[in-house]
């Protein structure tokens, strides 16, 4: 059996099957990315100023990711051109040229993904932010591991129903061993054994509960009043033989105090809180979510504890304000309120150690929204290396901080009760990042998928080329259509995600 119109177009529609198919598929892709673009517009337009996280937000505003995006745009355009040339080469029956162009396209796709990877890595692992309780935000780097709650547990109580108790994943050192409360003979060498015991006991408890319920129901049938209610012990407590080191994920924890830790799933741990502060290297302060009149009294200045940094921030702000005021004055207008909340006025690098004076000279006359913060970093770190000795607070866990910020950066301790929200610049950090990661990742999947299909065509295409070159040309045309669409999506993503 042969399906008609696989190679030759049907006379009345003028299309061969695959071409019609790919256009239909692309129509649904238009709706897919259209839905995401709609979400982008809907969420961005719907941002309540001063309440929701603004767009754009955080490090993306002035980091040089835009050059990576730019590079990727060029790469994709080039690949798009090559895919057309590959098709032309096939039409001209030039296999060598076809091969060359196709491998070029696949190489472009690889470069694209590598650049993407660099960008993701930088956002996910090297940039963090902390929002304090008054909505002021510090941008910088969290010293590795200090965002977790440092705790030593001795007694763990958990449910024998439902999912795995939360504490098991958080234990970092478990060589002391545990025993079961009430039955000290039951011993566990490590957390993995506790986990195994939990899984076993969970099904045991489920069986017991089923039996109890059956008994209760049969007693109910006889006499409603005298039936003994169901009682099954669904809790268990494990005692550690010594303090167990844990790093608890604050997102899984409901509450913690100096001696206890309770998880969202009902697990509670008794022990001792070791450290309750997040070590942080500040690079910028962001005041977009703080009312202008409250900015000077914000708690962020207490947390940073450096007058110089504060002065630096407001100096930079004034500089920006004057620049804007001048612009609007020329046109006989006042600065719109929305600008007051914008990042132009409210996001500035700060450097602990009081080097406010050197800030802002470089971009004094610059009207572009990007600041050359690279310059500041360089300038300040030389200053710091001369002036500041290694800080006391920089404790054992801060290697990561050194790596990113250089040896001279000043780490501050942020008390956990002053933190409203923190995280890396991953999708969680705000909807701008969320849509950035969702759309670029989905687009990346399309790039990978498309590249694989094109690679398949060039690697295994020779046989078909010899048999029926037109069929292969059709395939390449169809694959190319998809590839152009992928390029097309990126053309819109680039300005929306990197520039505006």
Partner 1 sequence: MAGSTTSTDFTKEKSAYKVVMWSLFVCTFITLGLGKLDFLDFGPPGADWVDILVGISLAGVKASLVSLIFMHLNHEKGLIYKMLLFTLAFFISLMGLTLFAGSDPIVEQYETLQTTKGNLTETPVTND
Partner 2 sequence: MSDATTADGHDHAHDEHEHHDAPFWRKYIFSTDHKVIGIQYGFTSLLFLALGFFLMMVMRWSIAYPDRAVPMLADWPWFQAWLDDEGKVTGDLYNMFGAMHGTIMVFLGIVPLAFGAFGNYVTPLQIGAPDMAFPRLNMASYWFFLIGGVLMFVSFFLPSGAAKAGWTNYSPLATTTDLHYSDLFWTGQTQWILGMVFLISSSLLGAVNFICTIINLRCKGMTWMRLPFFVWAMLVTGFLLLLAFPPLEVAAIMQLMDRLGGTSFFVPTGLNVGGMAFDAAGGGSPLLYQHLFWFLAHPEVYVLILPAIAIVSEIIPCNTRKPLWGYKTMVYAVMVLGFLAFIVWAHHMYITGMGTAISTFFQITTVLISVPSVILITSLLISMWGGSIRFNVPMLFATAFIPMFGIGGLTGLPLAFSLPDLHLHDTYYVIAHFHYVVAPGTIFGLFAGIYHWYPKMTNRMMSTKLGHLHFWPSLICMNGIFLPMFFQGMAGFHRRAFDGGMAYEQISSQLFAEAGTITAKMFELLHVIEPGAAVKLIDLNIVTSGFAWMLAIAQVPFIINLFGSVFWGKKAEGINPWGATTLEWSTPTPPPHGNFESEPVAYRGPYEYSVPGADSDFTAQFDGEAPVTDAEVEDEVSESHA
What is the footprint of partner 1 within residues 49-68 (CB under 8 A)? 50, 56, 66
- Chain-centre distance of CA 201, in angstroms? 37
Q: By CB under 8 A, is residue 211 in contact with partner 1?
A: no
Q: By CB under 8 A, is residue 53 in contact with partner 2?
A: yes
Distance (Å, whole) CA 277 – CA 467 = 70
Helices (H) and strands (E) in the chain, counts: 14, 14
Q: By CB under 8 A, is residue 1 in contact with partner 2?
A: yes
Give the gyration radius of the chain's Cα atoms: 30
Contact 294, 341 (CB under 8 A): no
Interstrand relation of 277-286 and 137-142 (parallel, antiparallel or unpaired): antiparallel
Q: Which of 118, 254, 452, 500 binds partner 1 (CB under 8 A)?
A: 500
Q: Which of 104, 145, 243, 266 binds partner 2 (CB under 8 A)?
A: 266
Contact 447, 109 (CB under 8 A): yes
Q: By CB under 8 A, is residue 344 in contact with partner 1?
A: yes
By CB under 8 A, what part of segment 460-479 binds partner 1? 466-470
Q: By CB under 8 A, is residue 242 in contact with partner 2?
A: no
Backbone angles phi, psi at 226, to 5 degrees: -95, 0
Q: 393 vs 128, 281, 398, 401, 402, CA distance in Å?
A: 19, 11, 9, 12, 13
By CB under 8 A, what part of segment 429-468 binds partner 2? 429-431, 433-435, 437-438, 442
Nearer to partner 2, 12 or 225 (CB): 12
Contact 143, 398 (CB under 8 A): yes
Only one of the segments 228-236, 241-249, 263-271, 364-372 lies at the binding site for partner 1 (rule: CB under 8 A); that segment is 364-372
Q: By CB under 8 A, is residue 491 in contact with partner 1?
A: yes
Q: By CB under 8 A, is residue 367 in contact with partner 1?
A: yes
Nearer to partner 1, 42 or 460 (CB): 42
Q: Which of 5, 17, 20, 100 binds partner 1 (CB under 8 A)?
A: 20
Q: Is 310 helix (H, G, I), strand (E, B) or coil?
A: helix
Only one of the segments 160-168, 329-337, 397-405, 475-483 lies at the binding site for partner 2 (rule: CB under 8 A); that segment is 160-168
What's the min distance (Å) between Cβ of 250 and partner 2? 8
Nearer to partner 1, 99 or 234 (CB): 99
Q: How far apart are the first and last CA of the chain?
A: 55
Contact 140, 280 (CB under 8 A): yes
Only one of the segments 14-22, 61-69, 364-372, 458-466 lies at the binding site for partner 2 (rule: CB under 8 A); that segment is 14-22
Distance (Å, whole) CA 81 – CA 74 = 11
């Amino acid at each position: 059996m042969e399906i008609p119109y696989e190679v030759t177009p049907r006379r009345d529609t003028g299309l061969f099957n695959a071409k019609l198919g790919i256009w239909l598929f692309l129509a649904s892709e238009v709706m897919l990315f259209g839905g995401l673009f709609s979400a982008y517009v809907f969420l961005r337009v719907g941002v309540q100023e001063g309440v929701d996280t603004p767009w754009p937000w955080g490090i993306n505003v002035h980091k040089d990711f835009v050059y990576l995006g730019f590079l990727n745009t060029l790469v994709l355009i080039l690949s798009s051109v090559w895919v057309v040339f590959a098709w032309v080469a096939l039409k001209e029956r030039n296999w060598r040229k076809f091969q060359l162009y196709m491998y070029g396209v696949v190489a472009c796709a690889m470069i694209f993904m590598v650049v993407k990877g660099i960008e993701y890595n930088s956002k996910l692992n090297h940039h963090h932010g902390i929002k304090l309780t008054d909505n002021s935000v510090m941008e910088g780097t969290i010293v590795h591991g200090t965002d977790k709650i440092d705790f030593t547990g001795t007694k763990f109580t958990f449910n024998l129903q439902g999912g795995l108790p939360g504490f098991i994943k958080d234990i970092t050192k478990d060589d002391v061993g545990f025993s079961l409360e009430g039955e000290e003979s039951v011993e566990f060498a490590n957390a993995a054994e506790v986990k195994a015991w939990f899984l076993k006991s969970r099904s045991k408890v489920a069986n017991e509960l089923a039996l109890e319920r059956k008994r209760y129901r049969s007693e109910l049938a006889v006499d409603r009043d005298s039936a003994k209610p169901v009682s099954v012990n669904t809790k268990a407590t494990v005692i550690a033989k010594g303090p167990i080191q844990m790093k608890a994920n604050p997102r899984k924890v409901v509450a913690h105090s100096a001696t206890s830790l309770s998880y969202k799933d009902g697990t509670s741990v008794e022990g001792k809180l070791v450290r309750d502060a997040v070590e942080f290297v500040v690079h910028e302060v962001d005041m977009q979510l703080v009312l202008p009149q409250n900015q000077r009294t914000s708690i962020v200045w207490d947390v940073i504890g450096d007058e110089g940094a504060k002065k630096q921030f407001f100096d930079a702000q004034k500089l920006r304000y004057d620049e804007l005021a001048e612009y609007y004055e020329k046109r006989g207008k006042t600065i719109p309120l929305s600008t007051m909340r914008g990042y132009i006025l409210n996001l500035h690098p700060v450097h602990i150690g009081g080097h406010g004076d050197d800030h802002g000279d470089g971009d004094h006359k610059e009207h572009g929204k990007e600041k050359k913060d690279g310059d500041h970093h360089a300038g300040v770190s030389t200053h710091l290396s001369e002036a500041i000795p290694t800080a006391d607070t920089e404790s054992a866990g801060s290697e990561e901080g050194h790596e990113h910020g250089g040896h001279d950066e000043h780490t501050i301790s942020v008390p956990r009760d002053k933190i409203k929200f923190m995280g890396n610049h991953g999708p969680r950090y705000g909807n701008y990042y969320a849509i950035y990661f969702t759309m670029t990742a989905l687009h990346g999947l399309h790039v990978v998928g498309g590249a694989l299909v094109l690679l398949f065509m060039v690697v295994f295409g020779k046989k078909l080329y010899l048999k029926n070159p037109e069929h292969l040309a059709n395939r390449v045309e169809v694959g190319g259509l998809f590839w152009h669409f992928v390029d097309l999506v990126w053309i819109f993503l680039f300005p929306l995600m990197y520039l505006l």
